[in-house]
Structure 1
Amino acid sequence: MSKKIRKKSSKTDSSGTVRAPTVSHTERAREAGPSPSLAATGKSKPRPAPPASQAAGLVEGSPAPPFSLPREDGALVSLADLAGRKLVIFFYPRAGTPGCTREAIDFTRLATDFAASGTAVIGVSADPLKAQQSFRNKHKLSIPLISDEKRDMLEAYGAWGEKSMYGKTFLGVLRTTVLVDEAGRIARIWCKVKVEGHADEVLSAAREL
């Protein structure tokens, strides 16, 4: 692997296309961001949490949980605002980290195709508005980035739960994507998302609805 690939910053090629960075094991740990107060210790081990989708009661065919939260520019975005359209919601661990950057860039790259299929796309994380705005501006993202600092939406959609990294257990954002149909019901749920090719797979699913 060349030194260029190991660099964390995004690059722009001669055509103006932004290429997202690759993700190393260390960078994945940064994305996960374990909380020391919630990590498992040698003295006691936290009780395992149920799968996120089970904890939230979110299943395919069920109504999408309502939400009303601010996006990176401060404007409120709600499920009601997007009624009558298909909707893709991708939940990501942390703005600006390599995997989340690549995922957001991929969904931005396909924004026109999603729009042509009658599908809106939004990204959601627990980052504050300032971080979301910086993330959008740095990578020229065109999709709304929702800030859910209180984690209400993350929990309702099963995207907040127990994670583990290097032997430690903690709570955090689970990389999850949900596709909502025009009737406001959950059509597809992707858990433990692998970023490579994911946005294209979601677009194919949206086109088939």
Structure 2
Amino acid sequence: MLKAGDKLPQFEGLNQDGETVRSEQLIGKKLVIFFYPQANTPTCTVEACNLSDNYSKLEKAGFQLLGISGDSVKKQKNFHSKFAFPYDLIADESHEILEKFGVWQEKTTFGKTYMGIVRTTFIFDEKGICERVIEKVTSKTAAEQILEA
């Protein structure tokens, strides 16, 4: 998994509107990239809405936000529209971005092992260097966890 001190991996992906977002476009402002398992599921919705509800605080602190999951552009569009998120959601069906950040991992639930996204938030400085990784994301207070740095 990507760790503090690592450089922002180069990537490109389609946002909820089918537009290409490239990692190099994200340099210059502090950046929060949050990875979530699946759009429109209860815990992911709580996390994404908490970040949306606190967006002005995060913006005031200088952050831009980007959410990424393995969902399709269509699913991301539905999720984005339903809650009117003020930030982009990237569809990574190929798991290419997920793997570059190291969040596509083996998980176990009720004794069943499978590959999935580990809910993780990465915070980068203006130069694209990872300052902090939040591995134990609390969905209800995701914004507070980011701001407490």
Q: Is the 8 A contact 2:72 2:91 kept in 1?
A: yes
> 2:93 aligns to what SS in structure 1?
coil
Please give the alpha-carbon distance, in whole angstroms, between the structure 2 residues aligned to 1:198 and 1:119: 14
Q: 2:147 matched to which residue of 1?
A: 203
1:174–1:192 CA contact under 8 A, matched in 2: no
After TM superposition, the structure 1 = structure 2 runs for residues 151-162 of structure 1, keeping only pairs within 5 Å, are 151-162=95-106
- Structure 1 Cα separation of the partners of residues 53 and 125 of structure 2: 22
**SS in structure 2 opposite 1:197?**
helix
Larger strand proportion, structure 1 or 2?
2
Matched letter for residue 130 of structure 1: K
Deviation at 1:76, TM superposition (A): 1.2
For structure 1, the 5+ residue unaligned runs are 1-52
* Aligned residue identity for 1:104: A
- Bigger shift: residues 75-84 or 194-203: 194-203
* Alignment correspondent of 1:11: none
Match of 2:72 in 1: 128
Q: Deviations over 1:8-46 (max 9, x none)?
A: xxxxxxxxxxxxxxxxxxxxxxxxxxxxxxxxxxxxxxx
Per-residue displacement from partner, 1:79-109 (whole Å, max 9, x unpaired)? 1111111100000000000000011101111
Q: Note the 1:13-162 alignment, pairs <5 A.
A: 53=1, 58-162=2-106
Q: CA deviation at 1:196?
A: 2.6
Cα offsets for 1:138-196 (capped at 9, x unmatched): 12222110001111111111111010111111000110100011111110011142313
Contact 1:73/1:133 (8 A) holds in 2: yes
Unaligned runs of 5+ in 2: none
Q: Which amino acid aligns with 1:198?
A: A
Question: Identity rate of aligned residues, in percent?
Answer: 39
CA distance in 2 between counterparts of 1:81 and 1:116 reads: 20
Whole-angstrom CA distance in 2 between matches of 1:71 and 1:200: 25
Partner of 1:166: 110
